[in-house]
Structure 1
Amino acid sequence: MMKAIELRKLTTEELKEKLKELKKKLMNLRFQNSIGALGKNSEIKETKRDIARILTILRERGIKL
């Protein structure tokens, strides 16, 4: 889980790259959950929140996705 303060220190390009990584991670977590191999269900929730934090920061900066 990343804190908003840490994310604000990153450049816009780094944030976009992190967003791509987190979306891939979320897809993999959902797949693992569907086959019953996911250990911590809270990991999905944390990943979704990290994605939301990044999107919020990008919107604050006025960046088009």
Structure 2
Amino acid sequence: MSRKGECWDNAPMERFFGSLKSEWVPDDGYSSEHEARVDVQRYVMRYNNVRLHSYNDYRSPVAMEKLAA
């Protein structure tokens, strides 16, 4: 949730969930909560370690953090 009057506070999470829904979640949904949890965890691992982000000069978030360290 964003602070009052600060609509940009929540923008990164909105972007993440938008990508999750459009790139990963099946159109017909999941058959169980367990299946959804396992699949979303796979997406988070992919998002942080493999998926390239244009904002990070086409590097993954993990690779960008290593570069910054």
TM-score tier, shorter chain, comes to 0.3 to 0.5
Please tell me whether Structure 1 or Structure 2 has the larger radius of gyration of its CA atoms: 2
Greater fraction helix = 1
Normalising by structure 1, we get a TM-score of 0.37
Greater relative contact order structure (CA < 8 Å, 6+ sep): 1
TM-score, length-scaled by structure 2: 0.35
